[in-house]
Amino acid sequence: MFWLILLFVILFFFLFSKFVSRFANPYKLNYVFGLKGAGKSTFMVKNMLSDLKNGWTVYTNMSDVSIDGVRYFDVSELITKTPPPKSSLYIDEAGLVWDNRGFKSFDSGYTAFFKLQRKYKCKVTINSQSFDVDKKIRDLVDHMWLMTNIFNVIGVARPIKRTIKLLEAQGNSEARIADNLRFASLTQFKFFWMPKYWTYFNSFEAPERKNILFKNLYYTPKKRKLTPRVQLKLLQYEMRRKSQRSA
């Protein structure tokens, strides 16, 4: 009887989770960050391929991506325009696009797009080497991933759960709302073989720049300063040589 009840409870929760999953919001803002070469762009390419299979229209600012069906776009388009419904946007090096130090130049059109992202039925994935994008975007992030790798070939995406926490007033400090961050369980980590996706993009693609100016440097040995004793010996040696020549 116990096992029958347990089986019924498990079956009920399974069917209930399947039912409520239909109402889940897929239009999230995802943030992927990690050190240089950790596999951020590779992880994004992996997700691009997955989104294409699931019927999403995929856009990216990565001009080096070579995947059939992926559309390249200029991020500044989001200031006044929006992609069609069920679009998935992948923005590489977001810290260069929306640097948190350049908040004065952050256009309000970006703010409107990200705040209305769910209404536009779009999901967005951005990456950067640190949590350095403009605060207006950081505050709207739904999911975060920390990218690392094992032996440079096994990608490890570690999900970070973000919740809102209310801090009570203490002493002279007022009550405030703060973010509470923690790593998800190991069962939610994503592992993948990175070389499988390297053929779809050029990891070393970068804007062209002129070479820096330089001049060649050469080693010139410095003359050693002789001590008075050495100088005296050299003088004596020269005098002996002259006397030998005159003889």
State whether residue 113 is helix, strand or coil.
Answer: helix
Strands 176-183, 154-167: pairing kind: antiparallel
Residue with more model confidence, 181 or 173: 181
CA dihedral 95, 98, 102, 103 (to 10 degrees): -130
% of the chain exceeding 70 in pLDDT: 94
pLDDT of residue 107: 93
| Domain 25-168+176-200 fold | Rossmann fold (3.40.50)
pLDDT of residue 232: 79
Please state the pTM of the whole predicted model: 0.81
The conformation of residue 148, written as its DSSP 8-state character, comes to E
Structure confidence by residue, pLDDT tens digits, 113-140: 999 999 999 999 999 999 899 999 999 9
pLDDT of residue 172: 77
Phi and psi, residue 166, nearest 5°? -95, 120
Place of tokens 């997700």: 47
Closest of 160, 247, 198, 159 to residue 42, by C-alpha: 198
Q: Is the pLDDT of residue 174 over 90?
A: no
Q: What is the overall mean pLDDT for the chain?
A: 89
Q: Is the pLDDT of residue 181 over 80?
A: yes
Structure confidence by residue, pLDDT tens digits, 60-114: 999 999 999 999 999 999 999 999 999 999 999 999 999 888 878 889 999 999 9
% of the chain exceeding 90 in pLDDT: 60
Strands 71-72, 57-60: pairing kind: parallel
